[in-house]
Amino acid sequence: MLRNNRLLSGLTLAIVVVASWVVWQISDWGSQGAAPSIAEYAVTSGNSLVLLPFESQGGDEDFSEGIAERLQTSLLLLTDLKVIAKTSADRYRGTEKDITSIGRELDVDHVLKGHVTRRSGKVKIELQLISAGDESKVWSKVYAGDEKDIFRMMNAIVGELAATLDKKISPILAHQLNRTPTRNPKSYNLYLQARAMLVSREESKLAGSLRLLDRALTYDPGFADAYAQKATAYSLLSNMGYEDKKSTLDKAEKNALKAIRLDSRNATAYAILANIYRDQYKWDQSNTAYQIALELNPNDALTIYWYSLLLREIGKPAEAMQYSARAVELDPLHPVILGGHIRNCTYAGRSELAAQLIEDGKVVFGDSFIFYMCWASHYLFQEKYGLALTQLEKSHELNPGRTHFEAQIIFCQARMDNTAAAGNYLTTLGNTPEDDLSRSMVYAGMSKVEKCLSYMQRAASQGVIYKDLVLHPAFRLLHDDPRFQKILKDYGLPLPPSVAI
C-alpha cells in the first residue's frame, strides 16, 4: 500500500477511542467550509503590539516568564489584533533599544512592558502599554495578590487590555481564560524551558526538550500542553530526518491525542496532528486539522507557517507564500519561518523578493542552518549549482547531524560534473526508502532518468516520497514522464505547474 491509512498502531484501547473521537471531530469541523482565506487575518492600523520579556524584580525569572507566556497566549486570541510571537519578542530581552526603534523594527503600534515581583506567596505585576510612535503611556496598572490567584489575576489583565484596545473577548478566548494549564509551577517552568529549545530544530535540543517535558509531566501528569509539545518535538525529529519516520510519527500522534483527551480545544495538538497527516500524505485530513487549529488560535505564527507548507507540498506556491508572509509578519525574527517563506517565494516565481529577504536576513540569521538551507533552495531553483553548494555546505557545517543535506550536496556536485563524488556517495547508502530517495536525487544530478525514476518508484511503493516533489527543481527532468506523473497521482498530488499548463 502506497500510503499508511491507519490512524494508530499498537496503542492502548483508550487512546484508540480518543483517536476515533478526533477523526469524528475533524470530520465535523471540516464540514464547516474550506480553509480560511489569508485575507481574514488582515489587521487594521493601530491594532498591533509586542509583549517584551518581563523583568523579574525578585530574581525569579522562570515565574515571570510563565506569566508573560500566559498573557501572550491569551492576547493572540483577541479579535483583529496582531501580536508579535514570543520567538521574535525574546530577541529584545535585556535590550537597550528605545520603544520607537522596537516598534519600527517589528512594525507594531504598541509595546507592552512588565515587571513581576514574587515574595512570600505574594505576587505583584506592574504593566505599561506604550505607544511605539511617540512613546506615550497608553495604559498602566499594578496588580497584586496571592500567588494562588495568579491565573485569576492574569484573566483580569487580559480583560482590561482588551477593553483598552477596544477588542472583543471571543467565546474561544473566554474558554482559554477559564482554563488553567497547570497548577504546578515546577511543571510550568520546565515546560517553558522545553518550548524554548524547540526553536533551533537541532537534534540535541529536541532530545533535551523531550527530557524536560517528561520531567514536567512527573509533577503534573494531566498537563495537556506538555503532551502537545512532546508531540511537536517528536514530529520535528521525524521531519528533520533525525529519527525513523514511522516510529517518531507514532509517538507524536500518541502524545497529540493524549493532549486532546485532556483538553479537547488544544490548538497546538490539532496543529501537530495536521503535521502528522501531512507527513503521511493525507492531504485532506491535514487541511481540516489545520482549520481546527486556526479556528482555535487564528494568530499563531507557527500554525499559519505549517499550513503554508501543506499548500506548497500540494503544488500551491502562491497561496503558500501568502500564508508564510503572514507568519513572518507575526514572528519576523524566527529563522525557520523566514527560511520557509524564502522557499515559498522562490517556488512562487518571486525570486527578487526571495533575494531581498535573504539579504535582509543575513545579519540576523547568520547562525541558522535552516536559513542557509533555504538560501540554497533559492539558488537550486535558478540552477546556480555552485552557489547552492556553498550554502548547503554552510548549512551542513552548522548542523552536521542532519543527513538530508548530503544528497542535495552531491546533487549539486554531480550537476557540476563531479561524478567521482557522486559515485563514492552512492556506495555509502543502505536499503531504506530514504536511501532510495537519496539515490534518486543523485541520479537526477547525473541526468540519469531511468535510475532516478527507478529508485523513486521503489521508495514510493514503500510509502515514501520527497517533500515538495511537485515543485522541487531537482526533478524537472522527470516532469513530462508518465511514470513520474503516476507517482504524483498515486499520492493525490497535481502535475507540476509547467506540465499542468
Residues 69 and 143 both lie in one domain = yes
Residues, the chain: 501
The pLDDT of residue 500 is 53
Cell of 180: 488553567
The pLDDT of residue 186 is 84
Of 298, 313, 336, the residue at which a domain comes to its end is: 298
Residues 283 and 192 both lie in one domain = yes
273 and 291 Cβ atoms separated by less than 8 Å: no
3-state secondary structure (DSSP) of residue 154: helix
Instruction: Flag whether 84 is in a domain.
Output: yes
CATH, residue 260: 1.25.40.10
Low-confidence residues in the chain, pLDDT < 70: 1-46, 58-60, 402-403, 500-501
Residues 53 and 139 both lie in one domain = yes
Q: Which amino acid is at 498?
A: S
The pLDDT of residue 183 is 81
Instruction: Flag whether 480 is in a domain.
Output: yes
Residues 119 and 55 both lie in one domain = yes
Residues 287 and 230 both lie in one domain = yes
Residues 129 and 202 both lie in one domain = no
The candidate with the shortest Cα–Cα distance to 237, out of 250, 224, 227, 226, is 250
Of 270, 298, 326, the residue at which a domain comes to its end is: 298
Distance (Å, whole) CA 468 – CA 135: 45
Distance (Å, whole) CA 375 – CA 483: 31
Distance (Å, whole) CA 456 – CA 431: 13
Distance (Å, whole) CA 409 – CA 399: 14
Please list the helix, strand and coil fractions of the chain in percent, rounded to the nearest 5, in that order. Answer: 60, 10, 30
Cell of 264: 479537547
CATH, residue 85: 3.40.50.10610
Instruction: Flag whether 251 is in a domain.
Output: yes
The candidate with the shortest Cα–Cα distance to 99, out of 131, 128, 127, 72, is 131
Instruction: Flag whether 141 is in a domain.
Output: yes
Cell of 304: 499559519
42 Cβ contact list (under 8 Å, min separation 6): none
Supply the Cα-derived Rg of the chain in whole angstroms.
23
3-state secondary structure (DSSP) of residue 81: coil
Host domain of residue 446: 403-500
Residues 476 and 437 both lie in one domain = yes
The candidate with the shortest Cα–Cα distance to 270, out of 334, 238, 224, is 224
Q: Is 266 exposed, middle or buried (0-12, 13-18, 19+ CB in 10 A)?
A: buried
Residues 199 and 254 both lie in one domain = yes
Instruction: Flag whether 284 is in a domain.
Output: yes
Cα-Cα-Cα-Cα dihedral sign, residues 387, 319, 308, 441? negative
Q: How far apart are the first and last CA of the chain?
A: 30
**Model confidence over 352-375: pLDDT tens digits?**
999 999 999 988 888 888 899 999
| pTM summary value | 0.83
* CA distances, 450 to each of 70, 226, 429, 460 (Å): 55, 47, 19, 15
Residues 196 and 74 both lie in one domain = no
The pLDDT of residue 28 is 47
Instruction: Flag whether 138 is in a domain.
Output: yes
Residues 409 and 426 both lie in one domain = yes
Instruction: Flag whether 146 is in a domain.
Output: yes
Determine which helix (DSSP H) or strand (DSSP E) holds 213, and give its type and residue range: helix 203-219
Residues 414 and 467 both lie in one domain = yes
Instruction: Flag whether 171 is in a domain.
Output: yes
Max distance between CA atoms of the chain, in angstroms, equals 73
The pLDDT of residue 144 is 92
**Model confidence over 272-289: pLDDT tens digits?**
999 999 989 999 999 999
Of 298, 315, 340, the residue at which a domain comes to its end is: 298
* Core vs surface per residue 174-206: b (16+ CB within 10 A) or e: eebbeeebbebbebbbbbbbbbbbbbbbbbebb
254 and 8 Cβ atoms separated by less than 8 Å: yes
Count of domains observed in the chain: 3
The pLDDT of residue 40 is 55
Residues 201 and 89 both lie in one domain = no
3-state secondary structure (DSSP) of residue 331: coil
